[in-house]
Chain A
Amino acid sequence: NAGVMQNPRHLVRRRGQEARLRCSPMKGHSHVYWYRQLPEEGLKFMVYLQKENIIDESGMPKERFSAEFPKEGPSILRIQQVVRGDSAAYFCASSPPFRGPYNEQFFGPGTRLTVL
């Protein structure tokens, strides 16, 4: 059973370009979470999605960032017009259908975004 897959593992963009990060959850998992880890910091929640629905986007910056989890295919985190401050590791996690607090989240290896 493959784990959470993220690609690319490393992404380099110049300021002003767009970054697209992909996440394929574990088989049978219908819940996806995105977290951002800035250098020397812990992980910060960004967004929680189910298939075709954004459930909680309270951690998403108001501008330039968007996320989706379509009916078919991976979840996408999209960053438009990237700036140097967007340089970070972006982690995706997945969990089975929500049943209260019992489900731990399974994390992917992350995408390390570098903005030049």
Chain B
Amino acid sequence: AQSVAQPEDQVNVAEGNPLTVKCTYSVSGNPYLFWYVQYPNRGLQFLLKYITGDNLVKGSYGFEAEFNKSQTSFHLKKPSALVSDSALYFCAVRLLSGNTGKLIFGQGTTLQVKP
């Protein structure tokens, strides 16, 4: 079965420190991976995606993610966290079966950045 796992319910970091939000996946075929962020009572905002090419993907708001095929991981990173980065983060994999492009989401990781 194709799935996405985010092993941490919550990640706490101090402002200015680097942050990592973990994601592992299980898919058959090539993985197409996405990160989204959700602020309270809002919809999801796209951060970045990996389709092919360089394993290090750069996205919005200074975030980046590293695709690691051997470890089947796609961890989200940022060199220096901001308090405003505090939100709920979702990793997702896109399934390309037939003509569908639906996303399978992980359960989400709450990021808390403390001043």
Residues in B whose Cβ lies below 8 Å from that of A106: 46
**Contact between B102 and A107, CB atoms less than 8 A apart:** no
Instruction: Say if the beta carbon of B83 comes within 8 Å of chain A.
Output: no
Interface size of B by Cβ–Cβ distance < 8 Å? 26
**Contact between A48 and B43, CB atoms less than 8 A apart:** no
Closest to A110 in B: B43
**Contact between B102 and A56, CB atoms less than 8 A apart:** yes
Q: Binary interface profile of B, 11-55, with partner A (CB < 8 Å = 1, else 0)?
A: 000000000000000000010101010000111111001010000
Residues in A whose Cβ lies below 8 Å from that of B44: 43, 91, 93, 107
Residues in B whose Cβ lies below 8 Å from that of A59: 102
**Contact between A42 and B90, CB atoms less than 8 A apart:** yes
**Contact between A42 and B96, CB atoms less than 8 A apart:** no
**Contact between B43 and A104, CB atoms less than 8 A apart:** no
In the complex, which range does the number of interface residues on chain A fall in? 20 to 34
CA distance A71 to B107 in the complex (A): 34
Instruction: Say if the beta carbon of A4 comes within 8 Å of chain B.
Output: yes
**Contact between B108 and A103, CB atoms less than 8 A apart:** no
Residues in A whose Cβ lies below 8 Å from that of B42: 109-110
Instruction: Say if the beta carbon of B104 comes within 8 Å of chain A.
Output: yes
**Contact between A101 and B104, CB atoms less than 8 A apart:** no
Instruction: Say if the beta carbon of A22 comes within 8 Å of chain B.
Output: no
Instruction: Say if the beta carbon of B99 comes within 8 Å of chain A.
Output: yes
Closest to B101 in A: A98
**CB interface residues, A 75-113, toward B, < 8 Å:** 91, 93, 95, 98, 100-110, 112
**Contact between B36 and A42, CB atoms less than 8 A apart:** no
Q: Binary interface profile of B, 52-69, with partner A (CB < 8 Å = 1, else 0)?
A: 000000000000000000
Interchain nearest-CB distance for B48 vs A (Å): 9
Other than A35-B105, A45-B104, give 7 A-B pairs with Cβ distance below 8 A.
A6-B43, A31-B101, A42-B108, A93-B44, A104-B49, A107-B36, A110-B43
A-side residues, CB < 8 A to B, are: 4, 6, 31, 33, 35, 41-45, 48, 55-56, 59, 91, 93, 95, 98, 100-110, 112
Q: What 5 A-B pairs come out closest when comparing CB atoms?
A: A101-B32, A107-B43, A107-B44, A42-B105, A56-B100
